[in-house]
Chains A and B, each alone.
Chain A
Amino acid sequence: MTSPEIHAAQRLTPAELQAVNFQRAPLGRRGFDEEQVRAFLGQVEQELVRVLNEKADLENEVGRLRERLAGGGPDAGAIQPEDAHIQAVRILSNAQQTADQYVADAQRYSREIAEEARRGRDEILADARSRATLVLEEAHRQASYAAEQVAPSTEPMSGDERRDLEREIAYLRTFSDVYRTHLRSYLEALLRNVEEWEKSERDSLAGTRAALPRMS
């Protein structure tokens, strides 16, 4: 199902609620928050399942009561084995629904955390890029300054050419010093960061491995 049209002749089913897709609002038009709409649809779907379940239970109950009245047997008051089985089915179904809910919650939680981590990563990358630009600019500025400071040579043979070369050397030396220092401290910080991540990742994975779901 790809459109939110609901056929008037047909009854709405939980599966349709799950599969419904809304068109995007045209540009410039305001719409509802998509996450909120999805979450609400999820609630409606669960409620619909519950109501349908209860309806089926009641219909069945009515059927059996009718039969019992019609039969009017001597043990009309006693619990039939079939009733006990239906009750057990109902209890197990409720338990399963609770389990499904927990699984769905856990998955949503993990998705949210992962999305947050992804955003964090993008920010760190953007930050690193702008820092790199800053480092380069800073190195350039300092190196230019150093080149300016090269004292005019006292050697009689020196011409403009030689002075230019010395300036160039001073520029490059300072540039590389500054750049290397900045880069080293930045890389060290990043490395510490990565080590922390790896440690926490190892810890969390060790946790999940130890606690494998096991059914009996």
Chain B
Amino acid sequence: MDAQRLKDNFAQVAQHGDAVALFFYSDLFLRNPRLREMFPVGMSHQRDRLLAALGRIVSQVDDLHNLVPFVQQLGRDHRKYGVEALHYPEVGASLVTTLRYFSGRSWTEELARDWTDAYNLVSKVMLDAAQEDASVHPSWWNGQIVAHERRRFDLAVFRVLPDRPFAFQPGQSVSLEVPARMRMWRYYSMANAPRPDNTLDFHVQLIDGGPVSPVLVRALRVGDWIKLGPPVGTMTFNERSGRDVLLIGGSTGLAPLKAILEQIAALPNPPRVHLFFGARYLDGLYDLDDLQKRAAGMPWLTVIPAVSDQDPGPAAEHGTLPDVVGRFGMWQNHDAYVCGSSGMIDATVDRLLQLGLSQDRIRIDKYADA
């Protein structure tokens, strides 16, 4: 397999952008009409994701050390969509057809062989990872809503009881699918550490015009069922460091930090924890009561609410999270965990670096807009 030849050919094909993925899916569905059901009606995001994943795989095709974990995760992640071993050759056939179509006259027998070999390799890694995962975990979990609370007109907190044991690390997230929006999986963080009763809490902010979050906030009722994928995410608590802890959450970015907070609370000797919880308006601090109640019983925990777009008076600090965190002192000897919108995370991480915190002590979790 000639890695450079593959990269050159993909660069040429990728110039056609969205048209490549459009052709690929049309070819795939024409050959296998039943596969269409596994995808949402609107396919724009799907095509972007396909091209991004392909681009990443091709760019790392000669760097297996980094490529293999990514491909394994892809394989595990595809189980919840109902992808099975027999689908892989179909996808491979359509992929090669697509590449040949867009390569035009530069297509050769060698290229056909290279692509087929590369695809077989990648699909084998995906399948192996998926099968290994299948021996331990179900493809997805069904979860029933046992509590649903609207904290604001555009914000809800709800509790789910999965039908089978669901093991995860505090700080991780999971993709959810609601029956009213089939095939549209969205990631949300668990807002609690694992509990004996297996229940999971989620915090959801409604995004104007989003397809899924309005359903989760406005239409979900106790008794409804949703699907959950496997837990993912690397913003987990570094228990061995022994350093004090800085938790910074913007709006519902609080959720994974609350899970980490519960994990810390269960330690015999909890480190000092500063939790910064920010929102644009005072009524966006939807979980402050609970946090302050916890802080009252935990001498090692300090909760600092921050409001950026209105003067909150004595109820909270006035300013954006990076500003307020910067105002509060020296964090060099802390481990920082940051979650929120991508703009908030970038600004906060920049500020922490300026304040002398080193990159390897900062863990982040960017949530995608849904």
Interface set, chain B 15-46, CB cutoff 8 A to A: 15-19, 22-23, 25-27, 29-30, 36-37, 41-44
Flag whether A92 is at the interface (Cβ < 8 A). yes
A93 touches B37 (CB 8 A): no
Q: Which residues of B contact A18 (CB under 8 A)?
A: 48
Q: Which residues of B contact A49 (CB under 8 A)?
A: 17-19, 22
Interchain CB contact (< 8 A) of A110 among B37, B101, B209: B209
Closest residue of A by beta carbon distance from B52: A15
Chain A, 85-125, contact with B by CB distance < 8 Å: what is the 0/1 string? 11011101100110110011001111110110010010000
How many Å lie between the Cα of A215 and that of B180 in the bound state? Answer: 13
Closest residue of B by beta carbon distance from A205: B219
Q: Which residues of B contact A4 (CB under 8 A)?
A: none
* Interface locus among A127-135, A154-162, A165-173, A206-214: A206-214
Interface size on B, residues (CB 8 A): 38
How many Å lie between the Cα of A52 and that of B14 in the bound state? Answer: 11
Closest residue of A by beta carbon distance from B100: A60
How many Å lie between the Cα of A108 and that of B42 in the bound state? Answer: 14
Most B-side CB within 10 Å, residue of A86, A89, A208: A89
Chain B, 334-359, contact with A by CB distance < 8 Å: what is the 0/1 string? 00000000000000000000000000
Flag whether A59 is at the interface (Cβ < 8 A). yes
Interchain Cβ contacts under 8 Å between A and B, 11 examples: A52-B16, A52-B18, A55-B16, A63-B104, A63-B105, A88-B30, A96-B43, A108-B209, A109-B209, A111-B210, A201-B218
* 16 more A-B residue pairs beyond the given contacts A49-B17, A100-B44, A107-B209, with a C-beta to C-beta distance below 8 A: A11-B15, A48-B17, A52-B15, A52-B16, A52-B19, A56-B23, A96-B22, A100-B42, A103-B41, A103-B42, A107-B211, A108-B209, A111-B208, A114-B206, A205-B219, A208-B219
Known: A56-B16, A96-B25. A115 touches B208 (CB 8 A): yes
Give B181 Cβ to nearest chain A Cβ, in Å.
9
Give A106 Cβ to nearest chain B Cβ, in Å.
9
Flag whether A149 is at the interface (Cβ < 8 A). no
Give A10 Cβ to nearest chain B Cβ, in Å.
9
Q: Which residues of A contact B23 (CB under 8 A)?
A: 56, 89, 93
Flag whether A53 is at the interface (Cβ < 8 A). yes
Interface set, chain B 85-111, CB cutoff 8 A to A: 101-102, 104-105
Closest residue of A by beta carbon distance from B48: A15
Give A68 Cβ to nearest chain B Cβ, in Å.
14
A114 touches B209 (CB 8 A): yes
B16 touches A99 (CB 8 A): no
B18 touches A209 (CB 8 A): no
Known: A103-B41, A201-B218, A215-B41. A53 touches B27 (CB 8 A): no
Q: Which residues of A contact B210 (CB under 8 A)?
A: 107, 111
Closest residue of B by beta carbon distance from A97: B22
* Main SS at interface, chain B: helix
Give A43 Cβ to nearest chain B Cβ, in Å.
14
Known: A52-B17, A53-B19, A111-B208. A92 touches B30 (CB 8 A): yes
Known: A56-B102, A201-B218. A14 touches B18 (CB 8 A): yes
A96 touches B209 (CB 8 A): no
Interface set, chain B 193-248, CB cutoff 8 A to A: 206, 208-211, 214, 218-219
Closest residue of A by beta carbon distance from B38: A215
How many Å lie between the Cα of A21 and that of B279 in the bound state? Answer: 24
Flag whether B153 is at the interface (Cβ < 8 A). yes
How many Å lie between the Cα of A56 and that of B44 in the bound state? Answer: 19
Interface set, chain A 5-37, CB cutoff 8 A to B: 11, 13-15, 18
Known: A114-B208, A201-B218. A15 touches B26 (CB 8 A): no
How many Å lie between the Cα of A110 and that of B215 in the bound state? Answer: 13
